[in-house]
Amino acid sequence: MAIQKVTGEIIENNLLRSASLAVNTDLLFIDVVNDRIGINTSAPGVALDVTGTARITNDLIVQGNLDVEGQTSIIDTVNLEVEDPVLLLGRNNSGTDIDLGIMMNRGGQGNNAVFYWNEGDDTFRMVTSTSGSDATAIADTAFAPLEVGKITVDSEIIIEDNEIRTSTSNANLVLSGNSSGSVVIEGLKFPTSDGTTGQALTTDGSGNLSFADVSGGDVSGHQVELGDFSDSSTQDGALLTGLGSTTTVTDAVDALNEALLNVNNNTFVRSVDFVSDVTSGGLNLSVTLTITVEGNANRYTIQWGDGSTDTASSDSTPSHTYTDNANSPYNVTVTAFNNARVEEGSAGSEASLTKNNFITAFTADPVAQWEFYAASSGGSEITKADTGSTVYLKNTSTNCTGKVSTYQIDWGDGTVNTISAVDAAGGPDGARLAHTYTNTSNMASQHGDSTQGAGTGDYRYSPRLKILTHASANPGVIPATSSTKHFYVYSPQTAIISVDGSTIRGINEEASSGFPVTFNN
């Protein structure tokens, strides 16, 4: 039977009808009264009610909640991305002993891996398990190993039926306290096979502990303290604070005897300290130490840090001049002793103190200086010029050549120029910097550093050069300003002579080039 076309009017009339429309009973059922559509059902309970399996070839966008009611939901994708920041497991969990977690199917590798919360013990666990994905209580087969870069524990670490060790062959296991804290081990027990009667715990000089038979000899130790100031010993700590495997108690007793003999001979030296009158400055930096000693020292060996050493000097206020700053700042070491001591290096015979980075030597202090010239090169220094003439600044500041530095020139007439580098125009390594003085009638009133001369328009200026920055100089001398030096600028004048010849004024005799002078009767 041929399928005939259905006109739009017929479809419209059927869709606008007030009763339901059924196609093949329930294949497609349109419930007009309740605004519902059913597929394979004639009693749709929601807007779209499908009985059977639905397949969507492309994307499915749900703008609302998605409720999946069943036993197992399978998401067959390569990646699963969840936009929500928290993934909630056991949403409708109303029980009190249900384990919740994530199970990983290991395929043919054996039991599945599970990371879960054990509700009975209130702990997280990482295990392998034979439990299925529908289990409410995980059956642990074995605890899984964990490899991480760092673990921070707020309370304590409990290790049951196992050991702490490194996984790297022949590597050391280091336990250290935080900052000044200590590692406390309670209930420490050594293997019985390593600690028999008559043996002592010793070190090998590298920090390794072992038991040794000392029944026929002396007992050696490591970091054995003989006492401190609180128990009447002769100095803080012990006379020997580092008894190693080759140092015996006999050595410690010998050291004590040496110290007591130095005390008896009045050659004992307990401690030394020193200060300096200056600790920083430019080359050539002269410093003087003041040495104070607890004990009876009469000789001092000073290592100044620049390769110079004063040996066995009797001067307790030694001086030294630093002529090089290549290795500045310098460490200074002072050793104090008595030249009548029991023997050199004997216990209690000397005291030494090193102060690191004690002396800082900068390059020699720079001095700001300048000269004016009539040309951009060559010639001799000038001290005067005509108004309107161009003069050239030559920066002759000392200890600045090749140094990272900046400058400022105040010409004295209200003009100030900044020189941005040592090799820029006006810098010690740069070309001369040009400037033109133009005298004005109110120059003196406008600029306090200019002085009007005897002739109208004649001025004396006080230029100043300033070293603004210097990378290697003592910061205490920067900025540095040049000393006062004057420069004279003259304006052309008409010669005037009085009748009696007592007054001649305004002739530009001091100008750089001079002016013609005519006398008329």
Q: How far apart are CA 84 and CA 104, in angstroms?
A: 21
End-to-end CA distance of the chain: 148
92 assigned to some structural domain? no
If one compares 512 and 38, the residue with the highest pLDDT of the two is 38
pLDDT score recorded for residue 493: 55
Domain boundary among 264, 289, 311: 264
pLDDT score recorded for residue 349: 81
6 assigned to some structural domain? no
If one compares 92 and 187, the residue with the highest pLDDT of the two is 92
- Same domain, residue pair 335 and 434: no
The pLDDT tens digits of the residues spanning 148-171 come to 777 877 767 777 666 676 667 667
Domain that holds residue 235: 201-264
Other Cβ atoms less than 10 A from the Cβ of 19: the count is 10
Q: How far apart are CA 374 and CA 67, in angstroms?
A: 96
What is the per-residue DSSP string for 165-194? Answer: --SSTTPPP----STT-----SS----GGG
What share of residues in the chain are helix, strand, coil (percent, to 5)? 10, 30, 60
- Same domain, residue pair 354 and 441: no
For the cut 70, the answer to whether the pLDDT of residue 441 exceeds it is no
β-bridge partners, 480: 467
Contact between residue 404 and residue 468 where contact means Cβ atoms under 8 Å apart: no
- Same domain, residue pair 282 and 248: no
Contact between residue 102 and residue 115 where contact means Cβ atoms under 8 Å apart: yes
For the cut 90, the answer to whether the pLDDT of residue 87 exceeds it is no
At residue 235, the 3 state secondary structure works out as coil
- Same domain, residue pair 249 and 284: no
- Same domain, residue pair 435 and 493: yes
For the cut 50, the answer to whether the pLDDT of residue 226 exceeds it is no
10 assigned to some structural domain? no
Q: How far apart are CA 450 and CA 447, in angstroms?
A: 6
pLDDT score recorded for residue 229: 39
pLDDT band at 306 (very low <50, low <70, confident <90, very high): very high
**What are 98's two structure tokens?**
């249900």
CA distances (Å), origin 449, targets 384, 411, 459? 16, 10, 10
Cα-based torsion angle of the residue sequence 74, 79, 85, 88 in order, rounded to the nearest 10 degrees: 20
Domain boundary among 210, 239, 264: 264
pLDDT band at 21 (very low <50, low <70, confident <90, very high): low
Mean pLDDT of the chain: 77
For the cut 90, the answer to whether the pLDDT of residue 430 exceeds it is yes
- Same domain, residue pair 392 and 478: yes
464-470: strand order across its sheet: 416-419, 405-410, 464-470, 480-481
Q: How far apart are CA 266 and CA 212, in angstroms?
A: 41
502 assigned to some structural domain? no
160 assigned to some structural domain? no
- Same domain, residue pair 209 and 248: yes
Other Cβ atoms less than 10 A from the Cβ of 315: the count is 13
For the cut 90, the answer to whether the pLDDT of residue 424 exceeds it is yes
- Same domain, residue pair 244 and 301: no
- Same domain, residue pair 381 and 357: no
pLDDT score recorded for residue 9: 62
The pLDDT tens digits of the residues spanning 311-329 come to 999 999 999 999 988 888 9
Contact between residue 289 and residue 278 where contact means Cβ atoms under 8 Å apart: no
For the cut 70, the answer to whether the pLDDT of residue 442 exceeds it is no
Rg (CA), the chain: 49
pTM, whole model, 2 decimals?
0.42
**What are 8's two structure tokens?**
């739009």
- Same domain, residue pair 412 and 485: yes
CATH for 439: 2.60.40.10
The number of folded domains in the chain is 4
80 assigned to some structural domain? no
56 assigned to some structural domain? no
408 assigned to some structural domain? yes
The pLDDT tens digits of the residues spanning 32-65 come to 888 898 888 888 888 888 888 888 888 888 887 8
pLDDT score recorded for residue 491: 75
- Same domain, residue pair 400 and 281: no
Contact between residue 450 and residue 257 where contact means Cβ atoms under 8 Å apart: no
pLDDT score recorded for residue 503: 46
For the cut 80, the answer to whether the pLDDT of residue 373 exceeds it is yes
pLDDT band at 135 (very low <50, low <70, confident <90, very high): confident
Beta strands in 34-121 (DSSP E): 36-39, 48-50, 100-104, 112-118
Other Cβ atoms less than 10 A from the Cβ of 463: the count is 22
- Same domain, residue pair 491 and 400: yes
Who's near 247: CB < 8 A, 6+ residues apart?
Answer: 220, 221, 240
